Structure 1
Amino acid sequence: MNSNSKSNSASIPSVIRALVQSRSLLLVAILPLCSFLCSFGARLHAAPPCQQQSPACWVARLEDPDPGIRQAARTHLRALGADAVTPLIEGGPSPHLRPQLIALLEEIGPTGLTAYETLLRSARTDLRNRTVRLLGYLDRAIPLEDRLKLLLPRLEDPAGSVRVNAITALGRACRAAPPTEQKRIVSGLIAATGDEDLYVRSAAAYALGAQGGGGLGALLEAFTASPPRHQRLALLAALRMTRDPRILPAVTARLEDTPDREETIALLSTIATLPGPYPPRTLACLERLLIENRLTDVETMKAFAGVLRQGGSATLQIALRHIGDVQEQSARAAAWLLSRMEETARPLVLAELRSPNRYRRGRAALVVGLGRWKGGIAALSPLLEDPDEEVRHFATYSLGLFRAARAIPPLIRALHDPAPPVRATAVAALGKIPDPHAVVPILPLLADPSPEVVSTVCFTLRQRASPKVAEAMVPYLHDPRPQIRATTAVLLGEIGTSPHIPLLQSLLADRERVDERSVADYARQAIARIDARTGQQKNDGSRQ
């Protein structure tokens, strides 16, 4: 063991000495290494040639896995200058190269300012667009004063897309600008709100609104200076974005004067962005809108409802005061508004159901129905016994708005109301409920003495035609009143089937007249309609 270990240790130096003395082995080991170092140095200082040395080719080399080639590409692109790099910012071969190209332009720095001026004078809209967008990012490479000299004139560019991009770049620059430059930018953006292009006006409004309180004074001054309508709406959109309570007096003053529907909606939407409570002048203006019937459509009322929700109890009282108005339009508008505010208005409206004022009781019932408030059916049912006919009418109508099976029992009670308008309303309300049992109770009203009720029954039965309804109508073919027999025949002609023809034939000898025609004529017409309908169905079945 010892002799072997000594011989092995003694042989190691001799092996090393043999390797060092062997020239052929050294050449074999050194030559590949030299070849690798030479090729790496060549690639480091001169990347493989691009066809015609185009900038796009060098941009593609920025994604090469070899760091030497990537560094060489950056060096060549930097040497080419801003004129060559700028058009490639938006048109790079892959999106993640864009930050690298912008970084290159930042490295080029202010020496590329002339190149941007040249690009902005180009006749190509796409090139001007790319340049303007790029200037919005070069806040470190180009001083703000120089960028404003390039961007502000673009607000007059003949291409709307260039103007929009210039506005976006100016809005970005405005956030970090000192007061003097910020005033210049805001002035330019306010002028852009008067542009004829809707997209330009919208972009300017957004850029101004995104500044928050910055430039608010100039914005309010422009808004109150009676600009053209399209510019005023754009300025109003910018004011709305600020959500600054200082705009409320100016918005209120304009709301008092404008007759324009679209502007009224925009003004109300702006007030709805501001927290309440509102000052007395604003509350008085809102109340005048309601009284003067300026809430003429759903969009305006939705905007007004937004103000009521935001303004607290003082604005809620505006609508509550007017649900009992004798003037129908303002009362119904107030009811609609309150119906959208169940959480806050519920206790106040439910208390109005017991008001001594019949107008307020009726409109309060309408509020509950329009909003389909939870527990509303139970709250409305006692009003069916109200001594006032109009209150019972509103309660019946409101129950029908729920379109729920739970409303069927109280509506059946309303079918026996002494007032024909209430009975007719109950018929229509039952017809709106999808439950099949809701229609059967209205059939006896075919014999109602009121033509209004009978007409409503006929219309409802047509809308809810079914075999069950048709069978329930058959006994009324023998009613002693000719009006009922004729009406039943007409309805069976519309919803009946072949088995009803013999029953209708029993009326062919009936000569009593209704509206200058005999009952037999109505029966004959009904038979013809059933024959035509069933024959058409048979033909359709044979074709299939």
Structure 2
Amino acid sequence: HFPALSRNGPKMAVEVLARQASPVDGLLAALRSPRSAVRIWALIQIAKLGPIKAEQFQLDKQVSDLLRDEDSAVQEQALLTLGQQGGRGARHVDAIARRISMSMERRVRVAALHALGNLGPSAGSVQSDVLAALDDKDPAVAAAACVALGRMKVTSLDGKLAGMESREPQVVAAACAGLSAMDRRVDAVGKQLSHRDPSVKATCSQLVVLPSSNGRQAAAAKALSGMTKAEDFSPELVRLLSEDAVLRHSAAQTLRDLAPTLAPAQKAELGSLLKGPPLVAGAAAFVLAEVGAAPDQIAALENLLSHKVEDTSACAVTASGAAPPLPAALRKPAVAACAALGAAEGGDKVAPRLTALLESPDAEVRAAAAEALGKLRQQTAVPMLLQGLEDASPAVVLASCRALGSFPSTETGAAVARLLEDPQPTVRASAAHALADMGAEAHVEKIAVLLDDRAPPVQVAAMRALATCERGQLHAAAVCRLALKADERTCVTALQTLMQLGERGAAYAEELHALLDAATPEIATQAHRALDCFRGGRDAVPSLADLPKVQLTIAAGTPGLEG
């Protein structure tokens, strides 16, 4: 709210908006507001624009001016905003680095380090300033420096981070996160799996902040995710699935990421954990859902379906926004068991139990059961899944919709097609995905309407559905329009779709030449691929009848799907 507009009424507001030369003029005015809260609000909105629009509107100069603001909270947000502006923000790395040494405020110094980390390798010219912060007496500043060096990919300093194990637990956890970001010294991170410190709180980046007697282990377990040769520590990670909540969450999520590399011995050990305490058994089932449970583990998973216990240890920090919500399968053993049975060899033997769970009073359990039945292709569950399309819980509607994609028929196709007009974007997208799985030619025209949907992810789902239908090529012109005018993700998908629409898609090759010089590398690269495909002749384009089904899962709460 702008005081001047409030005093002079709606008429003046309309006149001011009419005089704006660009969509960001209002934000620029807010940056000059005498109120700190308004300036901070404007900085947050500018950060949300992202690096592409930052390049388009070139707001970095106005943002950097606020690094000298009298209010440290404004300085903090200005730093964080510059960190989100990509190449434009990288122009100010020297000014950002100066805030590390010149500011007396912890929040400003930490924000400066976060900003440099977010700018990545483009901030490499000021690595010496970040290195100096590693020795700061304030653990929060030193920890932020560890993470920043990792995100900046300063691999020459991996030894420095690996040698931080004698520092405060908060700093050690951040050093693990930094080494993970640069994918170096997996040995140093893995070493922390055997470390115990009773005074620790696990506080590394993206780790749930909860009291734990095994905080360094939890930080290391989280940091190992995505690191080269992390699978060497799988045996230790399996043994960390314990009743310590932080340790269990971290180890389970990393093991799930390492699922393809787990040896038979670790899979067997996970199976033995299914007979332990419910929350530990649930964590094991969470991993087995990705690994694939063995037939001799089915009975234990079925028993787990009866447990109604829920891990609420992380509720406070996730509700406050300090950490992302835990997956339902990590909180509820019954949900984890459903997921594991859906992926298990012989899981169809417990289909009646899963079908019964479609009437559970717990919406997350109903949704998990629906997903599992879809994966197991249990035809007898179709009537209940159709009822799930009318469930009061959006999660159950989405799960039932996705599951019905495995059961193509006139009845299921018609029921799912009705959801193409649902007011919720997530539901519309899921319906398009399910119809794509069905190969529902009868509903091509209804799917094509979604090309004009106001939610870009719904447009993406519609295009991928059209690519699986023979008559989808009739809408190549609308797909080409999206390639030329839509946002980045939608544009790339449109180009990919045109490559799959046979001669109708190739007919728009000339229009795509304008995208070869697109400012976004992903768009330019995909345009080159599309034109190369078209130049290759008809044989370079897959025939529509032979196109594979496109897998697209859009979860509730996905950015861009609100409203």
- Fold agreement, TM-score > 0.5: no
**Could you tell me the TM-score, scaled by structure 1's length?**
0.41
- Structure with bigger helix share is 1
**Could you tell me the TM-score, scaled by structure 2's length?**
0.40
* Greater Rg over alpha carbons, structure: 1
Q: Which has the higher contact order (CA 8 A, sep 6+)?
A: 2
